[in-house]
Amino acid sequence: MTVVVPLGGAKPVPATQPQRIGVLLVNLGTPDTADARGVRVYLKEFLSDPRVIEDQGLVWKLILNGIILRVRPAKKARDYQKIWNAERGESPLKTITRSQAEKLAEAIADREHVVIDWAMRYGNPSIRSRIDALAAQGCDRLLVVPLYPQYSGATSATVCDEVFRALADMRAQPTLRVSPPYYDDPDYIEALAVSMSEHLASLPFQPELIVASFHGMPQKYVDKGDPYYVQCVATTESLRQRLGLDASKLLLTFQSRFGNDEWLQPYTDKTIEKLAKDGVKRIAVVTPGFSADCLETLEEIAQENAEIFRHNGGEQFSAIPCLNDSEPGMDVIRQLVLRELQGWI
């Protein structure tokens, strides 16, 4: 090993060794356990983030700690239990995100100096812990990949916030890149179209229309400049063009509203209820804002909204899986990562 002797009699230090590149896939998060306690810990971290709930004043803190964290965890725990991966003792989101990282590592295994890892913005494994682990493996360059096709302050931006907080405590910071949203990336649109077409072809019925349901957000966040709504519209328009469907056959809606504020509309549950009442008997729902199946897709859409549809006169309902760690889904992630690593590899 070459040794560099500094001026002034300081202790010799080893010369810089060839370094490695870390790639960190990040998704939203999940409770560690499917019980009230685990959900309470998760919700407290999530709902205490000013990117998620912008007004973190005294009134909100009283509501959060005095009402929400007392009542909501038990209910949400029951929802998690419906979809929980009992074999691994974890949520499907954690199982899938881990698999995405493992398959990405296999796909670029010929680049030995690239290290792939994964983290959750809320819950475990934490962003900070995985950045520390990558640094310990000699990564002096870091590509962070928020697994959100559409950008929003409450998802992509809060990932960056947490990354920056972790880096702020590091003396030897890695050089940082963050991948951009990929809401209209041709590879992403093609993967969605192929996945949708394959799923629809496997059904014993032909849907009369398809609902594209995205996670909602308060309307006031968009009014203040968040680009999320525009990017959801762009994704939906690109899908319509690729599939040859008009706006009456591929509807855009928003799910998972919370609290009393006005959220982005039309609402998914209200739309599905109205479709059933208007005589629509067969529908499919796709969730293009999620890179991996989770509580919002497996329970809220595939169970709750399916029940809403049938309760109001609908007959056949199908939830189209997210891209997950499928071959088309992994091709999107692989191409995104390789593009963002240009100049480093």
What is the domain class of 186-319 according to CATH?
alpha beta
Q: Which of 46, 104, 106 is nearest to 72 (CA)?
A: 46
pLDDT digits (tens, 9 = 90+) for 18-56: 589 999 999 999 999 999 999 999 999 999 999 999 999
Per-residue pLDDT at 18: 54
pLDDT at 15 over 50: no
For the chain, the 3-state helix, strand and coil shares in percent, each to the nearest 5, are: 45, 20, 35
Question: Who's near 130: CB < 8 A, 6+ residues apart?
Answer: 24, 117, 118, 119
Average pLDDT of the residues in 120-147: 97
Give the pLDDT mean for 69-75.
96
pLDDT of residue 9: 53
What lies within 8 Å, CB to CB, of 9 at 6+ separation is none
Kindly tell me if the per-residue pLDDT of 3 is higher than 60.
no
pLDDT tens, 141-169?
999 999 999 999 999 999 999 999 999 99
Give, in order, the Cα–Cα distances in Å from 345 to each of 16, 113, 115, 153, 331: 19, 9, 12, 30, 18
Q: Calculate mean pLDDT across residues 292-316.
A: 98
Q: Can you tell me the mean pLDDT for 177-190?
A: 98
Question: What is the pLDDT at residue 5?
Answer: 45
Residue 215 is labelled as binding a ligand: yes
What is the model's pTM? 0.93
Q: Is 296 annotated as a binding residue?
A: yes
Q: pLDDT category, 249, cuts 50, 70, 90?
A: very high
Mean pLDDT confidence for 320-327: 98
The pLDDT > 90 percentage for the chain reads: 92
Residue reference for tokens 């593009």: 339
C-alpha dihedral, 70 to 72 to 73 to 75, nearest 10°: 130
pLDDT-based confidence at residue 213 (cuts at 50, 70, 90): very high
Which helix (H) or strand (E) is 20 found in, with range? strand 20-30
Give residue limits of the domains in the chain: 186-319
Distance CA 255, CA 305 (A): 10
Q: What average pLDDT does this structure show over 128-132?
A: 98
pLDDT at 19: 85
Give the pLDDT of residue 205: 97
What is the per-residue pLDDT for 161?
Answer: 98
Judged by DSSP in three states, 218 sits in strand
